[in-house]
């Protein structure tokens, strides 16, 4: 069965070619496709407000916190496999061995990743992907690109995302299980960052520019430093206020 990520990559490149007329000499050099990207950003925002956010709030209200934490840990453990492969691909051998140890400890003593045993054991969690691997070997990021459903990216990161899917263990599950895993991962991730919606609304006069500049800046930091740039904690541990979705107006 053909996996969807390459189709998404092909569709994204097709859209770029069809909207070539949207470019112009006055565009930001990192974002020559800004008209197309803004249109996709508005589409994603509409879907997020009317579908993703309500589902995420329902998830927070109905699923106990300890279960949500276990789900987050499972997908974090699966993600560490891809991180490990990219560290080895970049010849960061010590980092790759660190990632291998995380996966081994959490997959065994952590009950297939439900418990995060590695972090308290001081086995560091890292962030790598194939987009960063391509950048490590000198490939430029290319223009900024907002993907339908998946949000901010670049040409290089879009290609990297497609490759990373083939390194993810979830990709090789049976189709029904694989699609379920992807869906649960999406809901879990969106639920964890519900509070980021309020921050974005309050901080940005132009939300599109805010997201674009934050994304590109973080990717540069990851590439330059070889480690994840720190992000604000939008978790649900402060009194559980967002379990009912009231933190952002209950929209």
DSSP summary character for residue 40: H
- pLDDT-based confidence at 201, cuts 50/70/90? confident
Distance CA 148, CA 126 (A): 27
In the chain, where the domains are located: 4-22+30-246
Other CB atoms within 10 Å distance of the CB of residue 83: 25
pTM recorded for the entire structure: 0.77
**Residue 72 scores a pLDDT above 90:** yes
- Give 147's strand partners: 151
Q: Distance (Å, rounded) from C-alpha 71 to C-alpha 60?
A: 12
User: 18-65, pLDDT tens digit by residue?
Assistant: 444 444 445 688 899 999 999 999 999 999 999 999 999 999 999 999
Rounded to 5 degrees, what are φ and ψ at 204? -115, 125
Tell me how far the alpha carbon of residue 180 is from its chain's centroid: 17
């Amino acid at each position: 069965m053909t996996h969807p990520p390459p189709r998404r990559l092909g569709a994204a490149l097709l859209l770029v070619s069809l909207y070539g007329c949207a470019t112009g000499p006055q565009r930001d050099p990192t974002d020559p496709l800004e008209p197309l990207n803004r249109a996709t950003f508005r589409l994603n925002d509409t879907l997020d407000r009317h579908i993703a956010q309500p589902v995420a709030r329902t998830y927070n209200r109905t699923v106990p916190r300890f279960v949500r934490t276990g789900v987050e840990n499972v997908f974090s453990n699966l993600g560490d496999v891809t991180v490990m492969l990219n560290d080895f691909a970049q010849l960061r051998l010590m980092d790759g061995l660190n990632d291998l140890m995380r996966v081994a400890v959490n997959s065994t003593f952590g009950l297939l990743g439900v418990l995060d045993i590695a972090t308290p054991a001081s086995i560091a969690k890292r962030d790598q992907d194939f987009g960063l691997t391509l950048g490590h070997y000198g490939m430029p990021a290319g223009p900024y690109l907002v993907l339908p459903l998946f949000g901010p990216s670049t040409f290089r990161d879009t290609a990297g995302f497609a490759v990373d899917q083939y390194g993810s263990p979830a990709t090789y599950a049976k189709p029904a299980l694989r699609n379920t895993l992807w869906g649960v991962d999406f809901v879990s991730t969106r639920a964890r960052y519900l509070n980021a919606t309020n921050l974005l609304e309050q901080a940005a006069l132009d939300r599109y520019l805010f997201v674009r500049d934050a994304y590109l800046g973080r990717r540069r930091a990851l590439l330059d430093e070889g480690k994840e740039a720190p992000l604000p904690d939008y978790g649900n541990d402060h009194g559980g206020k967002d379990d009912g979705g009231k933190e952002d107006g209950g929209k």
